[in-house]
Structure 1
């Protein structure tokens, strides 16, 4: 029986962090290594596999087709290793941390990055629950809450996680069915998706279309993630946050037809309800992760 070409655990951790964070520097910061050490571990992994996993460019790192296929397998393997009881330090007391989050932020920003938090803080058992922003229904038992609201009314400036910008996003399929968008006014010929969480007025005014009315036809989505899903399905154009749609933009499932963006009036913020070492660790990690996302977005803009 031929022995499998098993890579080192350190190399797999480096690959997962690079794929998630988009740069050697960010991955090194998370794993307490230099960018050079991370790059060497990734290069060694690719040499062992005989396949390129991440493309290097001035804009950062991006998954190759092989990397896209390999990443979920690596994450599954790491999760299994972390779950083995003998890998848990008996001397460490596990501390439970309950975090409540809006659905879209949890799905698009938080959950993909959780392996990094678990690797850095294996003694913290994070429990994630969802809230309903429009109905103001949160988790009364949560230690920390990711809230979508006005600044400084609902969220203090220091609690803001991402300073989001809004712009129309559409699927290539939808755009192919209509005449090319040559002016901003041409957008009004397409179906505009609507949600009470984000009116179109700020972008329309900045685009010189202040006289255009809010869309009043079609489904009304009480969730930003559902609006993105409808845009991906070609049902209309979403006024979306670039931070939430970065994956869909990177792989071409959504297109940004106009360069014009406007700041969001409501932001995502982290509110800590109970002080503890676990809460402080999670807050520091999430703010750092969101800062990295913001840096990567500005670098590719």
Structure 2
């Protein structure tokens, strides 16, 4: 008689799937309410049972799936999904769904976090976890279920993924404007310090203002983050070419002034990319698109 195969434990399979999704033993341990060493032991036991490694340990970069791990992961996820779909298992669960969201830093701070209470009120069953990415370095969260990305359309984002179509305009702190002669024409801005960031050149606004060929600022620090550029503007260090969506609270409170009514469409946009579809991801996407549509309408109505 053929002996039945010795199946790995469900705990080991869940540990393997969590580590593959979260990218580290520590992150998986938080999700499973275990210690990192306990998760590592379960994965090691599974690898021993299968007689082959599932992860490459690559300090200090972390873990990466082996070819065998890549092949095994979808099979494990399918098996776990079948178990989770059983009605008896669903009734026994707490019905809470975890959603890991990766976002660019400034979008998270200026647009997402202030609005999160509304999402939680609508979807209390979703346990949202927010992490930050580094746009210019293309460093994201490999374990994220959905990602808020800053990129070109359609090369990096599909039109349907775009959250809002932003507009740009110079913004400055009242104290900075008070130290200089009144700004009567766009060319007068050249008498003030202009903040610079590789994420947003000044050229589109200069062209729209009838000043094509105006060089980019070449003095002062370069801010590789739109939020740092806004912070420098708020501190009176210079004029920022800013997105209306990211500075709408500062404009409404009078902490940043818009010296000219002229705005230009942004050439890069924020978009939402779903890596792992789920009811929680769908609910979050629907809510965030609606929130950003409201912000875009607010920008258009109050641009001046």
TM-score between both structures, scaled by the size of structure 2 = 0.69
Aligned residue number for residue 195 of structure 1: 197
RMSD across aligned positions (CA): 1.3
Partner Cα separation in structure 1 for residue 250 and residue 300 of structure 2: 17
Partner Cα separation in structure 2 for residue 300 and residue 198 of structure 1: 22
SS of residue in 2 equivalent to 1:226? helix
Question: Which segment is superposed worse, 290-299 or 117-126?
Answer: 290-299
Matches within 5 A, 1:1-301: 92-301=94-303
Q: Quote the offset at 1:298 in angstroms.
A: 2.3
Aligned length: 213
TM-score between both structures, scaled by the size of structure 1 = 0.69
Partner Cα separation in structure 2 for residue 155 and residue 185 of structure 1: 34
Partner Cα separation in structure 1 for residue 275 and residue 196 of structure 2: 32
Runs of 4+ in 1 over 6 A off after TM superposition: none
SS of residue in 2 equivalent to 1:112? helix
Partner Cα separation in structure 1 for residue 231 and residue 284 of structure 2: 29
Q: Quote the offset at 1:117 in angstroms.
A: 0.5
Q: Quote the offset at 1:104 in angstroms.
A: 0.1
Q: Quote the offset at 1:297 in angstroms.
A: 2.2
SS of residue in 2 equivalent to 1:99? strand
Partner Cα separation in structure 1 for residue 211 and residue 300 of structure 2: 26
Q: 1:136-190 CA deviation, whole Å, 9 max, x = no partner? A: 0000000000000001011111100110000000000000000000111101110
Q: Quote the offset at 1:300 in angstroms.
A: 2.5
SS of residue in 1 equivalent to 2:195? coil
Give unpaired runs (5+ residues) of structure 1: 1-88
Q: 1:203-239 CA deviation, whole Å, 9 max, x = no partner? A: 0111111131100100000000000000000000000
Give unpaired runs (5+ residues) of structure 2: 1-90
